[in-house]
């Protein structure tokens, strides 16, 4: 199958590209390399340097390649950045998504798989674990942009004769992330690797649903032929606090360090756990990686296998 992955050189996108190639699919990566890297990609993946906010270049890339399925991962993903500059956030996440949809419609794309955000589109939900029918009440501009993206995809796919699947990710972690993502696990590990103090914002008792990047990639793979016109939570179905994550990372890394305490980030939610039973039922997907195993693999990637083995015996 001819697939196109926007943002495919980035953290999550590169894991999706890897899963697609391993399954025998053709892949074109469209990325502006603002946060991604060519080094994340296997040689079999085709690459085109394009920004999704550049309407003409995006249309040209789609027209030349003519993908059957587009996996739209490119986005501005920082909640704090969306709060400080909501216009830039909407230009990338809303206008960029509209550019992608236009290019896909003109190129005769069959299906769009959209990376939405289970951690932000629901805001502070009344019930946990959160099901897909929970009202979408985001409390950050980033969450608003993802809700808008879901609606634009639903409406414009109908207009262009395309089908779609929205995947609402939990907090994704794993290898190839970068400090600029401000993801807590990555931030902790980069601080430890530099010999500096990790920062814990709020009181550290905020508790989220964390899902391993390779498991997210598999969900996208399963959505190629399933889950049409549906939205799915993609998470672990459990939650863990930032304080507990910090303790586990220190144990795995064999370090004793006192964290710096900082204020709450604007737009952050207190807790969320995603009910992923719909994905299990309709996509035949469930997370295959326990948090302990995923965290160990992540620590090994950033700090080195020997250091982790020595710390854990």
Q: Residue 31: beta bridge partners?
A: 49
- The radius of gyration of the chain's CA atoms, rounded to the nearest angstrom, is 19
Look at residues 241, 223, 230 and name the one whose alpha carbon lies nearest to residue 131: 230
Alpha carbons within 13 angstroms on the beta-carbon side of residue 37 total 6
* Segments of 191-271 assigned E as strands: 199-201, 207-208, 210-212, 230-234, 240-241, 260-262
**Crossing angle of helices 291-303 and 305-312, rounded to 10°:** 130
User: What contacts 219, CB < 8 A, 6 or more positions away?
Assistant: 167, 232, 234, 279, 283, 285
Look at residues 150, 290, 136 and name the one whose alpha carbon lies nearest to residue 230: 150
CA–CA distances in Å: residue 282 to residues 9, 225, 304? 29, 11, 38
Give the active site residue among 122, 142, 164, 169.
142
82: its two tokens: 């969306």
- Contact criterion met (CB below 8 Å) for 5 and 30: yes
Task: Specify the DSSP class assigned to residue 38.
Answer: G
Q: Could you tell me how many residues make up the chain? A: 313
User: Is residue 142 flagged as an active site residue?
Assistant: yes
Burial class (CB in 10 A: 0-12, 13-18, 19+), 313: exposed
Active centre residues (catalytic): 142
């Amino acid at each position: 199958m001819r697939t196109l992955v926007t943002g495919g050189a980035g953290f999550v996108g590169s894991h999706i590209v890897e899963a697609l190639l391993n399954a025998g699919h053709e892949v074109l990566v469209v990325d502006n390399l603002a946060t991604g890297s060519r080094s994340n990609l296997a040689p079999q993946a085709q690459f085109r340097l394009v920004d999704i906010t550049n309407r003409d270049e995006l249309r040209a890339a789609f027209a030349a390649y003519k993908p059957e399925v587009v996996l739209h991962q490119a986005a501005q993903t920082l909640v704090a950045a969306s709060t400080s500059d909501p216009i830039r956030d909407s230009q990338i996440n809303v206008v960029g998504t509209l550019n992608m949809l236009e290019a896909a419609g003109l190129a005769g794309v069959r299906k769009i798989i959209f990376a939405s955000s289970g951690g932000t589109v629901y805001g502070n939900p009344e019930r946990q674990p959160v099901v897909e029918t929970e009202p979408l009440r985001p409390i950050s501009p980033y969450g608003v942009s993802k809700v808008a993206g879901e609606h634009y995809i639903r409406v414009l796919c109908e207009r262009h004769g395309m089908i779609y699947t929205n995947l609402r990710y939990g907090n994704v972690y794993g290898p190839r992330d970068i400090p600029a993502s401000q993801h807590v696990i990555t931030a902790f590990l980069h601080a430890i690797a530099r010999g500096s103090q990790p920062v814990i914002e709020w009181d550290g008792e905020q508790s989220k649903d964390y899902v391993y990047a390779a498991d997210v990639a598999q969900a996208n793979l399963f959505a190629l032929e399933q889950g049409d016109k549906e939205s799915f939570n993609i998470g672990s179905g459990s939650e863990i606090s930032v304080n507990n994550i910090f303790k586990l990372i220190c144990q795995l890394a064999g370090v004793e360090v006192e964290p710096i305490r900082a204020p709450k980030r604007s737009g952050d939610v207190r807790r969320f756990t995603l009910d992923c039973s719909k994905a299990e039922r309709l996509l035949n997907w469930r997370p295959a990686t326990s948090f302990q195993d995923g965290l160990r693999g992540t620590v090994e990637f950033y700090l080195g296998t020997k250091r982790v083995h020595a710390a854990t015996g």
